[in-house]
Chain A
Amino acid sequence: MLFLDWECNCDIIQFILLLGDRLGRCEHYASGNGTYVRQQCIYSSLAGFVHEQENDDKLPILNVTREEQHTVIPEVGSIVTAKVTNINPRFCKCTILCVEDSPLKDKFRGMIRKDDVRATEKDRIEMYKCFRPGDIILAKVLSLGDAQSYLLTTAENEFGVVLAESEAGVNMVPISWCEMQCPKTNIIEFRKVAKVQPQHILTS
Chain B
Amino acid sequence: MAGIELLSDQGFRADGRRPHELRKIRCRMGVFRQADGSAYIEQGNTKVLATVYGPHEITGGRSKALHDKVLLNCQYSMATFSTGERKTRPKGDRRSQEMSMNLRRTFQAAILTHLYPRSQIDIYVQVLQSDGGNYCACVNAATLAVIDAGIPMRDYVCACTSSLLEDTPVVDISYLEESVGSPEMVVALLPKSEQIVLFQQNSRLHVDNLEKVLDMGIKGCTDVYGILDQSVREHVTEVSNLMMST
CB-contact partner of A45 in B36, B56, B153, under 8 A? B153
CB-contact partner of B63 in A66, A105, A144, A147, under 8 A? A147
Q: Do A49 and B36 have beta carbons less than 8 Å apart?
A: no
For the complex, give the distance between the alpha carbons of A25 and B4 in Å. Answer: 55
Q: In whole Å, how far is B228's beta carbon from the nearest beta carbon of chain A?
A: 9
Q: In whole Å, how far is A48's beta carbon from the nearest beta carbon of chain B?
A: 7
**Residue A46 CB within 8 A of the other chain:** yes
**Residue A68 CB within 8 A of the other chain:** yes
Q: Do A49 and B240 have beta carbons less than 8 Å apart?
A: yes
Chain A residues within 8 Å of B58, by CB = 147
CB-contact partner of B155 in A19, A34, A48, under 8 A? A19
**Segment at the B interface, from A7-15, A158-166, A173-181:** A7-15
For the complex, give the distance between the alpha carbons of A10 and B57 in Å. Answer: 41
Q: Interface size for chain B: under 10, 10 to 19, 20 to 34, or 35 or more residues?
A: 35 or more
Q: Do B243 and A9 have beta carbons less than 8 Å apart?
A: no
**Segment at the B interface, from A80-88, A106-114, A125-133:** A106-114
Q: Do B67 and A144 have beta carbons less than 8 Å apart?
A: yes
Q: Do B236 and A16 have beta carbons less than 8 Å apart?
A: yes
Q: Do B57 and A109 have beta carbons less than 8 Å apart?
A: yes
Q: Do B241 and A66 have beta carbons less than 8 Å apart?
A: no
Q: Which of B130-174 touch A at CB < 8 Å? A: 147, 149-156
Q: Do A16 and B237 form a contact, CB below 8 Å, given A47-B232, A148-B62?
A: yes
Q: Do B154 and A45 have beta carbons less than 8 Å apart?
A: yes
Q: How many pairs of A and B residues are in contact by the CB < 8 Å rule?
A: 88
**Residue A55 CB within 8 A of the other chain:** no
Q: Do A18 and B118 form a contact, CB below 8 Å, given A7-B237, A10-B244, A144-B67?
A: no
**Residue B89 CB within 8 A of the other chain:** no
Q: In whole Å, how far is B106's beta carbon from the nearest beta carbon of chain A?
A: 15
Q: A12-B244, A20-B155 are in contact. List 9 more A-B contacts (CB 8 A).
A: A18-B229, A19-B153, A45-B112, A45-B154, A47-B147, A49-B240, A71-B55, A105-B56, A106-B54
B interface, CB within 8 angstroms of A:
36, 54-58, 62-63, 65, 67, 112, 116-119, 147, 149-156, 190-193, 229, 232-233, 235-237, 239-241, 243-244
27 contacts between A and B (CB under 8 A): A7-B237, A9-B237, A10-B244, A12-B244, A16-B233, A16-B237, A16-B240, A19-B147, A19-B232, A20-B154, A20-B191, A20-B192, A36-B152, A36-B154, A38-B193, A45-B112, A45-B153, A48-B236, A66-B150, A67-B236, A67-B239, A68-B239, A71-B55, A73-B117, A106-B54, A147-B63, A147-B118
